[in-house]
Amino acid sequence: MQAAALDWLNKNHEEIVQGLAELVAIQSISTDGEHGAEIERTAKLTCDQMRHAGLHNVDVLRVGHSLPYAYGEWLEAPGKPTVFLYAHHDVQPVNFIEQWLSDPWKLTRRDGRLYARGSADDKGAISAQLAAVAAYRKTGNQLPVNIKMLVEGEEEVGSKNLLKFFETHRDRLKSDVIVVCDTENVEVGTPSITYSLRGIVAVRVDVTTAKIPVHSGMGGGSLPDATIALNAILGRLYNEGGPYPIPGFYDQVRALSDKERVAFDKLPSDLEKIRSSIGMVPGARFAMESGYSEYAQCWRRPAVTVIAQEASSIKGASNQVLPKASALVSVRIVPDQKPEQVLEKLTAFLKANPPWGCEVTVTPAGPPVDWWMTDPNGPAFEAALAAMRTGFDRDPVAVGCGGSIGFVGPLSDLFGGAPALLMGIEDPASNAHAPNESLHEGDFKKLMASLVTLFANLGKLTPATVK
């Protein structure tokens, strides 16, 4: 059954790529609130592709006023584990359009990669998971495991309704193993399973010095400038080769184990390649703490980023002393930081000793996302590692992720401690959220083969022995 499924993947690769092309052609942008019709279309198309792959009880589901979820299942393997497949069909907007080398909404082959918005994040995962299902259903008609597949429509806006959705549909969704393909491999050709994720605490900082702006010829030099005050506050976050100077910020940060340090040091490292790939200006230095590799820094150390700043527009600038300025500050948190304590310490740091005694308010910018970490051992992880070794013909590595997938921990808990297998689909050149997003076609094939083998490996277990 497995051999026939793998053969089907090879013979039907162009059909799989065409299915991905149809998905990326729809501009299902969720971040601007202007593409609701397109998101509805991708949900419907995903459902059509689920039916074509051989899933049953396919439907568009919602909770409250959420954007649409596509759902399908196949539950005809009695006594076998149930595998929950997750992906999302919404995408980021297309910014810096002048930097795209091809139409972002048309899947384009170039240099062994598939270019389009959403090709890697995360419509490629939809196609890969459905291909693995279809490979069994189109050959022997049977799967070695039960399947429940959910494709979300609002991941790129923080999955704001997902936990409520899970709670509402708990009985329908309950599974023994969770499989997510929305993470990264450390390099092309190296299969990576992610066992830790950073969380997020975000705040808005508002600085006020007056009620109205004043002509800079009249007030410049005498009146407090809100923008300078804001930047003086933000400048305190600068850390030249050391930790952030926020009192108590690192009190709960879990130290790297010796085993992790050794494992991270064995991973491929090429800082010059990173510098080149992002066009880092010649004089700029990396901001890592002394004694930490780029992997340890990104996966297991907290990070503070100013993701937006606003005072007035350059286009509409006038000679004025500005009375208000604002910024969004995002903190990536790590094990064992508590979001509420990070918020408290960051707020106190940003409000302390304001320049010129200006008014500083710090408010949460959305709900926090907690970090997640698991032990990458046990039957389900062994099944996944063996599957990836077969699919990629290379030993897989266990890695962390600097990003966040907020539902993984709560969903695992909701399913009674179900193992969560986060299998990489992106790579450092994928440019998710950026111009020229792409999916490495060779790794795309290897991931699909890995999923086919994973289903076979998990099918040798029972619901009671999968953990």
- Could you tell me the pLDDT band of residue 107, with boundaries at 50, 70 and 90? very high
Tokens in use for 365?
């910018």
Report which residue type is found at 210.
A
pLDDT value of position 241 = 87
192-235 pLDDT, tens digit each: 999 999 999 999 999 999 999 999 999 999 999 999 999 999 99
Four-CA torsion 313, 315, 319, 321, nearest 10 degrees = 0
389-406 pLDDT, tens digit each: 999 999 999 999 999 998
Q: Which string of DSSP letters, residue by residue, matches 176-214?
A: SEEEEEEEE-SBTTB-EEEEEE-EEEEEEEEEES-SS-E
Does the pLDDT at position 95 exceed 90? no
Map residue 221 onto helix, strand or coil: coil
pLDDT value of position 167 = 94
Does the pLDDT at position 434 exceed 90? yes
pLDDT value of position 188 = 96
Average pLDDT in the 78-92 region? 98
120-149 pLDDT, tens digit each: 999 999 999 999 999 999 999 999 999 999
Model pTM score: 0.91
Average pLDDT in the 433-437 region? 95
Identify the residue whose tokens are 């419509």.
123
Does the pLDDT at position 273 exceed 90? no
pLDDT value of position 270 = 87
Average pLDDT in the 241-254 region? 96
- Cβ-count burial 304-341 (b if 16+ within 10 Å, e if not): beeeeeebeeeeeeeebbbbbbbbbbbbbbbbebbbee
Tokens in use for 384?
């996944």
162-176, 205-219, 262-276, 294-308: segment of lowest average pLDDT: 262-276
C-alpha of 374 from chain center: 17
Report which residue type is found at 157.
V
pLDDT value of position 277 = 83
Report yes or no: 172 and 85 within 8 Å, Cβ to Cβ. Answer: no
7-55 pLDDT, tens digit each: 999 999 999 999 999 999 999 999 999 999 999 999 999 999 999 999 9
* 246/346 Cα distance (integer angstroms): 7
For the chain, what is the mean pLDDT?
Answer: 96
**372-373 and 192-197 beta bridge pairing:** antiparallel
- Could you tell me the pLDDT band of residue 56, with boundaries at 50, 70 and 90? very high
- Could you tell me the pLDDT band of residue 278, with boundaries at 50, 70 and 90? confident
179 exposure class (CB count in 10 Å sphere: 0-12, 13-18, 19+):
buried
* 239/194 Cα distance (integer angstroms): 28
Average pLDDT in the 379-393 region? 98
Q: Which string of DSSP letters, residue by residue, matches 118-147?
A: TTTTTHHHHHHHHHHHHHHHTTTS--SSEE
pLDDT over 70 for what percent of the chain? 100
pLDDT value of position 361 = 98
Average pLDDT in the 423-430 region? 95
pLDDT value of position 324 = 98
* 459/83 Cα distance (integer angstroms): 10
pLDDT value of position 411 = 94
Rg (alpha carbons) of the chain, rounded to whole number:
24
Q: Which string of DSSP letters, residue by residue, matches 146-157?
A: EEEEEEES-GGG
Does the pLDDT at position 338 exceed 90? yes
Q: C-alpha distances in angstroms, 355 versus 308, 320, 352?
A: 20, 19, 9
pLDDT over 90 for what percent of the chain? 95
Query: Please, what are the domains in the chain?
Result: 2-197+371-458 (3.40.630.10), 201-253+302-364 (3.30.70.360)
pLDDT value of position 240 = 87
Q: C-alpha distances in angstroms, 262 versus 120, 410, 416, 448?
A: 30, 30, 32, 30
* 16/125 Cα distance (integer angstroms): 11
Does the pLDDT at position 296 exceed 90? yes
